[in-house]
Copies of this chain bind each other. A is one copy, B any other.
Amino acid sequence: MGEQARQLSRERVLEAAVGIADAHGLGALTMRSLAAGLNAKPMSLYHYIRNKDELLDALVDRVFAEIELPEVGGDWRAEVRRRSVSARTVLARHPWALALVETRTNPGPATLRHHDAMLGVLRAGGFSLPMTAHAYAVVDAYVFGFVLQEASLPFDSADSANAVADSIMEGFASGDYPHLVEFATQHVQQPGYHFGGQFEFGLDLILDALAVHHGASHPSSIRPENGVPQRPGRSR
């Protein structure tokens, strides 16, 4: 039959690792399961990977590599938006990655390139260094935080929410968490609900606010605090 196991390689190892993590979660990714998935024995992996920690670092970098880079020089708002949407998509595809980001603090080349590009668009977009720091921090906190919530929220769609909400509520006198109950029944459990849909709202909210602070680009629909450019009337 079809000679499954051609030669191992770092690439194949990483690929298989991502596959396992995607399919069965980080917990299922053990050196043994990984080896098994490659029709190899555990110890063979150590020719391509120093140890499991290094493997995890490599996985994080691999995920970052999937995120679209913003184009330095383009419209900062559009570019930051695009890469943020991409980041969320990618991280949602590999939910385990976020857990790693927290722990691993050895950024790989893709990660560094990513950060560099983000700083690049902002600087090129006219942000001062301090404002670049602010903007970058806000946007990324939001993006990562959103994904974090998506991952940790027990529910996501209205469907799955029902089960969870029910199970949570049955344990307590329903009067204990009135707002939670209202929120669950009147909003989350409604047909079209999908938590992920919230993402772009917040992203635009933040980008608009940044644009106002920055004084350039086009805040799409917000009236700034102190009569800077007024009206949703497309400034510029």
Residues from 92 to 112 in A contacting B, C-beta threshold 8 Å: 98-99, 101-107, 109, 112
Residues of B within 8 A of A178 (CB): 116, 120, 232-235
Report the Cα distance A172→B115, complex, angstroms.
15
Query: 1/0 contact trace for A218-236 toward B, CB 8 Å?
Result: 0111110110000011110
A198–B134 CB distance below 8 A: yes
5 contacts between A and B (CB under 8 A): A104-B152, A133-B187, A137-B198, A141-B141, A141-B146
Identify which of residues 120-153 in chain A touch chain B, using a CB-to-CB cut-off of 8 Å. Answer: 120, 123, 129-130, 132-134, 137-138, 140-146, 148-149, 151-153
Determine how close the nearest CB of chain B comes to the CB of A200; give it in whole angstroms: 10
Say yes or no: is A163 at the interface (Cβ < 8 Å to chain B).
Answer: no
Chain B residues within 8 Å of A117, by CB: 179
- Interface set, chain A 167-188, CB cutoff 8 A to B: 168, 172, 176-183, 186-188
Residues of A within 8 A of B (CB-CB), count: 74
Tell me whether chain A's interface is mostly helix, strand or loop, or mixed: helix
Residue among B115, B179, B205, B210 making CB contact with A120, cutoff 8 Å: B179
Q: How far is the CB of A92 from chain B (nearest CB, A)?
A: 13
Q: Is A154 an interface residue (CB 8 A)?
A: yes
B208:A219 contact, CB within 8 angstroms = no
When the two chains form the complex, which single residue of B144, B183, B233 contacts A132, counting CB atoms closer than 8 Å?
Answer: B183
**Which one of B101, B182, B212, B221 contacts A235 once the chains associate, using CB atoms below 8 Å?**
B182
B142 contacts A149, CB within 8 Å? Answer: no
Evaluate whether A102 and B105 lie within 8 angstroms (CB atoms) in the complex, with A120-B179, A179-B119, A221-B225 already known: no
Q: Known interface pairs A101-B148, A134-B202, A225-B219. Does A179 touch B113 (Cβ–Cβ under 8 Å)?
A: no
Known contacts A102-B102, A102-B148, A105-B153; 15 further A-B pairs (Cβ under 8 A) = A105-B152, A107-B168, A115-B180, A116-B179, A116-B180, A117-B179, A119-B182, A120-B179, A130-B187, A134-B201, A137-B202, A140-B145, A141-B202, A182-B235, A205-B210
